[in-house]
Every structure is written in C-alpha cells, then in structure tokens.
Amino acid sequence: MVQLTVDIGGRPGIDCRGFCAYCYFKHAQDLPAFGCKYCLPFTKGCDYCSRSVQEKYSGFIPLQEVAGKVLADLQMLTGDLTRITISGGGDPSCYPEFTDLMELLSSLEAPIHIGYTSGKGFDNPDIAEFLIENGLREISFTVFAHDPELRRKYMKDPTPEASLETLHRLAQKIEVYAALVILPGVNDGKVLIDTIRWLEKAGVKGAILMRFANTPEQGLILQNAPIIPGQRIHTPLEFADLVKETQKITSIRISGTPLYDPDLGSPFILAHEPDHLQTLPMISKCAGVITGAIAGPFLDQILRARGGENLIFMVKKEIADLITIDDIQELDLSTMPDTIILPGRSFIHISEAEKVLSADGRSRIVIRGPDMLTADGETSMGMTRDEVLALELEGCRTLINLINQWGS
C-alpha cells in the first residue's frame, strides 16, 4: 500500500468554527514537551510530543504550501499511490480552500480518505456530490446526534441540517463511519437509539461510540480537566455495556473506545483464547510492566498464563498510551524489579522515567515496550477478528521476549 498523508494544519476549536462542548482540546494549556518514543535518547522533546500531539499549529496551512509538500512527498514514494488521507488539527470541512484542495488531490487519481471531520463547515449539501466526483471514497464524520438542535448546541454547528444532509448523501455512495462522543444524559438513551437508527437508514458502514473524558485519569493530559464541570461520565464498564446494548439494535458495525468491540470481543481477545495463549513463549525472567488501568487486568491474565506472576504495575490513568511522567511518580517502588517496561507509545522520556523509578536509591533500567498490545474500538473498527488476534499475539510475544531478554 502506497499512502500519502496530506496535512492541512489548523487549530482545534479555532479552525473548526468554535469549540464543541466536549472537545478534548478545550482549555488546553501550553505545556512543555512530554517526552516520547520519537525523542532522542538525551533530549526530552521532539516535534511529535511538543507540537504535533498538542495540535500546536499556527492555523491552516495555505494551499500553495500543502501542494508543495504533496509534490515533495510524491517524489519520495515508490509504486502506485493507493490511498490519500487528509488530516490536520483543524477540520477539513472548514479549510478555506477545501474545494481547490480536493480538485488538486483528485488529479492524483487515488481514493481519498478524510480521517476526521465534524462536518461543521459543510453549509451546502451539494458538496457531497462534488466530493464523490473528486475521488472521496471514505470519511469519518462526527455526528453527536441526528437531532440538528443538539448538534447546534453541543457542536456549535451553525448549519446542522446541511451537515447532516451531507453525511446522508455521502453515506448513500461511499464508506462513511460515524463517530459520537457520548455525553451521559445528553446524547445517550433514546437520542442515541434514534441516531443509530438514522445512521443505519442513511447507509453508514459503522459507528464508533467514544466515551467522554473529563478527568486526567480518563486521559486528559493537557491540564485541561474538567472539560465540562459537573458532567456525569461513564465508567469503562458502564460504557462497554452501552456499546453492547447499542450493537443489539442495529445491523451496522458498532464499536466503542476505550471499550469495547462487541463483534470481535476486543480489546485483548487473547485473554480468552487458551489455545493461542499456548503459542506465546514462557516467561523466564522478572521485569515490571507498567500499564493503564483498563489494560492492566487483561495483561496480567495473559502474562500469568505464560508464567509471569506479579509483573503488572498499573497506574491510575485508564489509557496506557496516555501515561505521562506524573502517573509513574505515584507508583510504589518498594516491590518494583530492576527492569521496567513502559507502554511503547506512552508520553514519557526514558531517562526521566529512569530517574523517577530509581528514586528509592535502587538503580533501575527502563525500556520501551511494543507500540500496540491490542486494538481499541477506533482501530478495530476496520479490522477482522483474526487481524486483531494476530496484532495481539505479535505485541504480547514482543513484550515477553523483552521481559526474557532484559529481566533479572
């Protein structure tokens, strides 16, 4: 697959017609770099963890600049282009030169995918036909609710009827995936049922339900909690139940993040697959595996099945990929082994982690684990059960090999 990603820049909340009530970038503080897997060994901070992840763009990138970058990237590619993805910190539907951009990209004659749009910039539904004519083949569209008034109020969509009609027309012809951040008491219950039925009728391929996060533990790492003061939130298990119940009322594909994918049984299908577990290496050494509160119990079960007792060190943060240095500062070091493995994509710089995890005077080695041990609902939406299982087996095998290679 030869893919091209077209970055149009833009700022959340500013280059998308105002902050949605639930936007994770609302009240975001200007923070120093977190540290991450892309940083150099002795330098905390790189473009990814200081700018990209915080979506620190200065605005939309002008079309001329985007076009120049596309040309430069094309020269680096070998083979036929199979997919173009438009991405950025702002919303493509609000990009001032959006139609020109689509015409430019359609000349490359590869299917175009819009990785994310709220649709708030679609004021005239005729844009749907234009997009299809110009090569759009797949789009992820935030819906929130099919009730225009709820979209107007919670998404600050000035033309919700036009946005919904655009989605409807697109779904008749191309692959549309709907995304809904669920605010308990606002767009769950009957509103959710009606919205899912509307999406099914429209012809969308799938809908992903996203749990609203309102505390640092739930994943707000930009010192911006709470996003909505006093808003009720689902626990991970309540949310998984909601996803399960929603799946029962529709034939379209439903998954949820952080939990759960009812069609596949993910995340961590492997925990319930003894035959596949047997294929993993036995654990012969001891290393501490730091992980998040959701993955912790599943991973503990998997490692125990391969002889690894008491290796899991769970932080309060629910999502392992969003673990930062503050989370590991709270861990009790008294039972920690000499080797510690961090989640591959956590926002921590290794040398800083070594200092924090050696604060009791015992010098510990810290290494980074595999990027992915399972697929959350957003990732699994486009995967088969076998693909998720293969991903989990590869991730867990790499993790066990690291324990056996670096452990004591």
Q: Which residues bind ligand SF4 (CB under 6 A)?
A: 12-13, 16, 19-20, 23, 25, 91, 118
Please identify, using beta-carbon distances, which residue of 16 and 314 lies nearer to ligand SF4. 16
Please identify, using beta-carbon distances, which residue of 25 and 313 lies nearer to ligand SF4. 25
Q: What span, in angstroms and rounded, lies between the C-alpha atoms of 395 and 392?
A: 5
Q: What span, in angstroms and rounded, lies between the C-alpha atoms of 189 and 25?
A: 26
What's the CA angle centered on 77, arms 75 and 81, to 5 degrees? 110
Closest contact distance (angstroms) between CB of 230 and ligand SF4 is: 20
Please identify, using beta-carbon distances, which residue of 15 and 261 lies nearer to ligand SF4. 15
Residues 6+ positions from 160 with CB-CB distance below 8 Å: 148, 149, 151, 152
Please identify, using beta-carbon distances, which residue of 12 and 160 lies nearer to ligand SF4. 12
Collapse the DSSP code of 87 into the 3-class scheme (helix H, G, I; strand E, B; otherwise coil) and give the result.
strand
Q: What span, in angstroms and rounded, lies between the C-alpha atoms of 335 and 172?
A: 57
Closest contact distance (angstroms) between CB of 152 and ligand SF4 is: 13
Please identify, using beta-carbon distances, which residue of 24 and 298 lies nearer to ligand SF4. 24
Please identify, using beta-carbon distances, which residue of 180 and 320 lies nearer to ligand SF4. 180
Closest contact distance (angstroms) between CB of 389 and ligand SF4 is: 32
Six token digits for residue 378: 């957003």
Closest contact distance (angstroms) between CB of 296 and ligand SF4 is: 29
Q: Are 114 and 36 in contact (CB under 8 A)?
A: no
Alpha carbon 326 to its chain centroid, in Å, reads 21
Closest contact distance (angstroms) between CB of 154 and ligand SF4 is: 9
Q: 10 Å Cβ neighbour count for 46?
A: 18
Closest contact distance (angstroms) between CB of 302 and ligand SF4 is: 34
Please identify, using beta-carbon distances, which residue of 20 and 213 lies nearer to ligand SF4. 20
HSE value, Cβ hemisphere, 13 Å, CA-based, for 104:
16
Closest contact distance (angstroms) between CB of 141 and ligand SF4 is: 11
Q: What span, in angstroms and rounded, lies between the C-alpha atoms of 18 and 2?
A: 35
Residue 319: which of 344, 346, 289 has the closest Cα? 346
Q: What span, in angstroms and rounded, lies between the C-alpha atoms of 284 and 271?
A: 20
Please identify, using beta-carbon distances, which residue of 50 and 93 lies nearer to ligand SF4. 93
Q: What span, in angstroms and rounded, lies between the C-alpha atoms of 226 and 245?
A: 28
Closest contact distance (angstroms) between CB of 100 and ligand SF4 is: 22
Pairing status of strand 83-87 against strand 206-211: unpaired
Closest contact distance (angstroms) between CB of 169 and ligand SF4 is: 20
Please identify, using beta-carbon distances, which residue of 117 and 374 lies nearer to ligand SF4. 117
Torsion of CA 102, 105, 109, 111, to 10 degrees: -70
Residue 54: which of 21, 22, 92, 24 has the closest Cα? 24
